Structure 1
Amino acid sequence: GDVIQDGEQTPQSLICQDCQMLLRNAEAAQRHALRTEHVNFAESTTVIKPLTEEEKRIQLAALRDRLAERRAAKAQVEKEEQKSAEKIRRKAGQDLTEAKARLEEKEMKQRIAAKKKEKEDEQKARAQIKAQIEADKADRLRKKQEAVNVAAAANAATGPAASSAPASAKVYTETRLQIRQPEGQQPIVHTFQASDKLSAVYEFVRGQRQGNFRLMTTFPRRVLDGDDLEKSLSELQLVPSGVLVVTN
């Protein structure tokens, strides 16, 4: 009596025209649409019988299985996404490490190149300094040689004239003698004739002091007596001046 039979015109359910699934009411159709994204529904006269307890249990178990499968699939997707993200992270880390290594290698090469250039510049500077020193040395030698050549040429030009007309030596007629006395006494200074004999000097000194004495040259140190008394001051090379020392 209360059950609507197939063939009657009174709508008893809804049918999804996309997958031909019978749905009990509009709420079921709405849930189906949200789950499957199907949009074509129509009224159906097919009666959906109430589920028995066994059917409910089977459907519930199937639903749980589907949920478990979905969770497993979602977990697998998340796992794959994590693996992919880890690969990306590792790849990024590896790329960063390689980039850092390349940068360090580049900086090292730049430092080596700069050090090499600095060393080369230093060697060039030293070579330039050495070359300049050698050039200055050669220039000094050249100038010195030029001066020698000029002097030699001048001597060659003036040599014959000089030899043919030698300069006459100056003749001194007087000499100034300093006669140093011992015991810190003041020296005796007197002018003699260049032709005076040494004996005249002895006589002059005897007039200035008492006791026996002898006269001696300073360099070389030599006592003047004996034959020297008859020699002139010029012969004794005490002209134009000389120094004698009084000694006992």
Structure 2
Amino acid sequence: MRWFQGGIAEAVATSKTKNAVFVVFVEGKDEASKNAASALDDVAVLSKLESEDFVAVKLDSGSEAYNQFVQIYQLVPVPSLFFIGGNGVPLEVVAGEVDVPELVQRIATVLEKSGKVVPADTQELTEEQKIERAKELIEKKQKLKQEEEEQTQKQKEVERRKVGQEVQKLRRWQQDQELKQLKEERQREKAEEAAARERVLKQIAEDRAQRASRYYAGLEGNKKQAEEKLKGQSEQQAQDTASKCVVARIQFRLPDGSSHSHNFETAATLGEVRLYAATHLNLPFREFVMSTTFPRREFTAADDGQTVTELQLVPTAVILILPATSGNAISSSQSYGSAVSRMLWSVLTPFFSILNYVRNLVFGGGGAVGGDGGARNSRRSSLHAASEQSPTGARRRVRTTETTTVHRQGNVHRLTNRQDASDDENNTWNGNSTQQM
């Protein structure tokens, strides 16, 4: 079979130019397609299809041209042979396998439908028969044309519906894409807003932290400045007070709660103070240590070379006299049999002193004063402790049988000796004071 060497569009154009029938043979890979191709190669078939009345093309199933042909005519069996008229409407469709005689008869029918030949029996008819035959042919053509038009309308309706479906599908796809884009934009905007909010909150937190840091740093700086200023003022005041003082009044407090005061020169050393305590105080022990009350500081032999000014004992100070807890030379008029007793005595001494002071404060007339401010219990016996001025200006404790008397004037108590009532030898005790210098 000699097939048209060109595309479908070229074959259609050629068939219209020649006013020929457009023939499309759809061939597959199966056995039926091979048998149909063999029938087309028969001499009887070739003599008709290769004439000027036909323009034939062959399409392989699955090709691009076949897909385009299917979109137009919808149902295209494989194998099949389409005879298409000038208006695009199929005149005859041969589907599947057919033998050669049937195929020749189908081709003759197509030629009659297209008006290419007139049947042989019409040549022997009379004029009336010819007219009748012509009317039949006209009606047949009209009917065929009407069918073709209906087929065309149906095809157009199918195409219109298909186009409408495609348009609706395209619109739905566009709407889906628009919704998807809007959703993505909304999510992106939310993410940007969240990120911006997070940055603002972070910046606010950093600003607050910086302000708090600056504020507390300022407070700390002000506090340090105030402390340094107060410390400087205290030191300056202490220095001014020490520079103005010519004597240092030191009060010695003993473990039994009694006290003794003495004035030292500001240039006197701690060794002189220690020597005075050892020689002028009636101590119940041979070896002792000296320490301050607050802040707690125990003086050692290394401090004996420093002056009372350097040790900040000016203008007044209180020194505790405690028994030494080391060495074997410690002796006492009382029995201190063990180190535990000495330790307990050292711990309980401040409490005895406070108790003695409170008792003298409440029962003022029943006690005596030792030194210039330390309280001491007065016994109802004739023996008591009194103060006597030494030639060096210090007072020492002596035993006497004289009786002391407390005179009260307002809130001031005066301790006098019955034998010598001069005011120079009286000790004054103020009930509102906790320390007498």
What TM-score results when the alignment is normalised by the length of structure 1? 0.50
Q: Give the Cα–Cα distance (whole angstroms) in 1 for the partners of residues 189 and 253 of structure 2.
A: 83
- 2:346 alignment counterpart: 242
* 8 Å contact from structure 1 (residues 197, 229) kept in 2: yes
- 2:128 alignment counterpart: 52
Equivalent position to 1:173, from 236, 251, 254: 254
Q: Percent identity?
A: 5
- 1:163 alignment counterpart: 239
The offset of 1:52, in angstroms, is 3.4
Correspondence 1:197 to 2:285: yes
Correspondence 1:78 to 2:149: no
Q: Give the Cα–Cα distance (whole angstroms) in 2 for the partners of residues 170 and 108 of structure 1.
A: 90
* 8 Å contact from structure 1 (residues 175, 239) kept in 2: no
Q: Which has the higher contact order (CA 8 A, sep 6+)?
A: 1
* 8 Å contact from structure 1 (residues 174, 240) kept in 2: no
Equivalent position to 1:113, from 189, 198, 204: 189
**Any gaps of 5 or more consecutive residues in structure 2?**
1-126, 243-247, 258-280, 288-323, 337-341, 349-437
How many matched pairs? Answer: 153
Query: Residues 65, 71 of structure 1: CA spacing in aligned structure 2 closer, same or farther, 3 A cutoff?
Result: same
**Helix, strand or coil at the partner of 2:252:** coil
**Helix, strand or coil at the partner of 1:196:** coil
Q: Give the Cα–Cα distance (whole angstroms) in 2 for the partners of residues 98 and 128 of structure 1.
A: 44
Q: Give the Cα–Cα distance (whole angstroms) in 1 for the partners of residues 250 and 215 of structure 2.
A: 41
Q: Give the Cα–Cα distance (whole angstroms) in 1 for the partners of residues 251 and 325 of structure 2.
A: 28
Q: Give the Cα–Cα distance (whole angstroms) in 1 for the partners of residues 153 and 250 of structure 2.
A: 130
* 8 Å contact from structure 1 (residues 198, 228) kept in 2: yes
Q: Give the Cα–Cα distance (whole angstroms) in 2 for the partners of residues 109 and 173 of structure 1.
A: 91
Listed one character per residue, the Cα deviations across residues 81-125 of structure 1 (whole Å, up to 9, x for unaligned) are 321231222122112202211220221121022112212211321
- 1:229 alignment counterpart: 331
The offset of 1:145, in angstroms, is 0.8
Q: How does 1:30-49 map to 2 (within 5 A)?
A: none
Query: Residues 66, 111 of structure 1: CA spacing in aligned structure 2 closer, same or farther, 3 A cutoff?
Result: same
Query: Residues 91, 118 of structure 1: CA spacing in aligned structure 2 closer, same or farther, 3 A cutoff?
Result: same
Q: Give the Cα–Cα distance (whole angstroms) in 2 for the partners of residues 132 and 159 of structure 1.
A: 39
Q: Give the Cα–Cα distance (whole angstroms) in 2 for the partners of residues 160 and 194 of structure 1.
A: 38
Query: Residues 156, 105 of structure 1: CA spacing in aligned structure 2 closer, same or farther, 3 A cutoff?
Result: same
Listed one character per residue, the Cα deviations across residues 181-229 of structure 1 (whole Å, up to 9, x for unaligned) are xxxxxxxxxxxx9821069xxxxxxxxxxxxxxxxxxxxxx96442233
* 8 Å contact from structure 2 (residues 255, 346) kept in 1: no
Q: Give the Cα–Cα distance (whole angstroms) in 1 for the partners of residues 154 and 256 of structure 2.
A: 132
Equivalent position to 2:225, from 124, 141, 149: 149
Q: Give the Cα–Cα distance (whole angstroms) in 2 for the partners of residues 115 and 63 of structure 1.
A: 76
Query: Residues 194, 56 of structure 1: CA spacing in aligned structure 2 closer, same or farther, 3 A cutoff?
Result: farther
- 1:131 alignment counterpart: 207
- 1:5 alignment counterpart: none
- 2:172 alignment counterpart: 96
Query: Relative to total residues, which structure has the larger strand share, 1 or 2?
Result: 2
**Helix, strand or coil at the partner of 1:171:** strand
**Counterpart residue identity of residue 133, structure 2:** R
**Helix, strand or coil at the partner of 1:195:** coil
Query: Residues 95, 84 of structure 1: CA spacing in aligned structure 2 closer, same or farther, 3 A cutoff?
Result: same
**Helix, strand or coil at the partner of 2:330:** helix
**Helix, strand or coil at the partner of 2:346:** strand
Query: Residues 144, 85 of structure 1: CA spacing in aligned structure 2 closer, same or farther, 3 A cutoff?
Result: same
The offset of 1:61, in angstroms, is 2.4
Query: Residues 75, 94 of structure 1: CA spacing in aligned structure 2 closer, same or farther, 3 A cutoff?
Result: same
**Counterpart residue identity of residue 240, structure 2:** S
Q: Give the Cα–Cα distance (whole angstroms) in 2 for the partners of residues 243 and 154 of structure 1.
A: 33
**Counterpart residue identity of residue 167, structure 2:** K
Q: Give the Cα–Cα distance (whole angstroms) in 1 for the partners of residues 345 and 195 of structure 2.
A: 69
**Helix, strand or coil at the partner of 2:253:** coil
**Any gaps of 5 or more consecutive residues in structure 1?**
1-50, 177-192, 200-221
Query: Residues 92, 142 of structure 1: CA spacing in aligned structure 2 closer, same or farther, 3 A cutoff?
Result: same
Query: Relative to total residues, which structure has the larger helix share, 1 or 2?
Result: 1
- 2:54 alignment counterpart: none
Q: Give the Cα–Cα distance (whole angstroms) in 2 for the partners of residues 108 and 223 of structure 1.
A: 88
